[in-house]
Amino acid sequence: MACKSPGPTSAQPISSNGPTASKAACTYPSQLHSPSPQVNKAGRGASAPALSAGDVPECSVDLRARGTALPGVRDVLKAVSVREGWISSVLTGNIAANARVKLSAFELDPLLDLSVGAYGEDAVQRPDLVAVARSRVHQLRGVRGVPVVLVGDTPRDVEAALSTGSGIIAVASGIHSEEELTAAEAPVVLPDLSDTAGLLEILAGFARW
């Protein structure tokens, strides 16, 4: 979840190019269900210290070799990070350790407040992950009752947002087209994240809910 809270708590930022495994390189929940084999091997059942001590460097190198952050995502996250009251985090079906590996591989983790994110070990259903993230933003940052905005690339992301009263910005950066995301009733559908100013304006609109 790229969470933004001025307001908006939003959902995901990134992905990558290349084969399906490397498409998990960052944070779209749909793609994080299919992580790189190396990350899977290291992450499932392993502790974060074990990952840091051993497999993380190898995984990060593999991810950087096979994938890349989506165009515009770094600029968007940087812009959000300096907005007072806005919080960016991650909502994903992947376990937290794997998510950190993938984000750190592209040096995106410093731009996200990962402590308030929601991960695969927290819940199975995406709407439940939204509730987890909301709760953490309240408990850890003292923010409550603010708009939540998910940024996702699948109809399931759209459904999770609509079913939890969250905003949704659908991005046709994955396997689903703009037409499919529109058919899923996403009110905002973008071809990519390259228009930083335009995306910030949309997020600000959600913040005025």
pLDDT for 151 = 96
- The range of the structural domain enclosing residue 112 comes to 22-207
Neighbour order of strands in the sheet with 149-152: 149-152, 167-171, 188-190
Long-range contacts formed by 170-177: CB under 8 A, 24+ apart = 173/15, 173/28, 173/70, 174/15, 174/23, 174/28, 174/30, 174/31
**What does the alpha-carbon distance between residue 70 and residue 26 come to, in Å, rounded to a whole number?**
9
Indicate the number of domains in the chain.
Answer: 1
- Of the pLDDT bands very low, low, confident and very high (cuts 50, 70, 90), residue 57 is low
Please report, for the domain that includes residue 119, its CATH number.
3.40.50.1000
- Average of per-residue pLDDT values in the chain: 78
Mean pLDDT on 94-99: 93
Residue 175 forms part of a structural domain: yes
Residue 174 forms part of a structural domain: yes
Residue corresponding to tokens 């995502």: 73
Mean pLDDT on 152-165: 96
144 half-sphere exposure, CB direction, 13 A CA radius: 5
Q: What pLDDT digit, counting tens, does each position of 121-144 carry?
A: 999 999 999 999 999 999 999 988
Residue 59 forms part of a structural domain: yes
**What does the alpha-carbon distance between residue 150 and residue 157 come to, in Å, rounded to a whole number?**
7
> Is-contact 138 118, C-beta < 8 A?
no
Residue 3 forms part of a structural domain: no
Please classify residue 84 by burial: count the beta carbons closer than 10 Å to its beta carbon, then call 0-12 exposed, 13-18 middle and 19+ buried: exposed
Largest Cα–Cα separation, the chain: 46
Whole-model pTM? 0.73
Residue 15 forms part of a structural domain: no
**What does the alpha-carbon distance between residue 143 and residue 116 come to, in Å, rounded to a whole number?**
11
Token duo for residue 62: 């593999």
Residue 14 forms part of a structural domain: no
122 half-sphere exposure, CB direction, 13 A CA radius: 23
Residue 72 forms part of a structural domain: yes
- Of the pLDDT bands very low, low, confident and very high (cuts 50, 70, 90), residue 31 is very low
More confident site: 199 or 5: 199
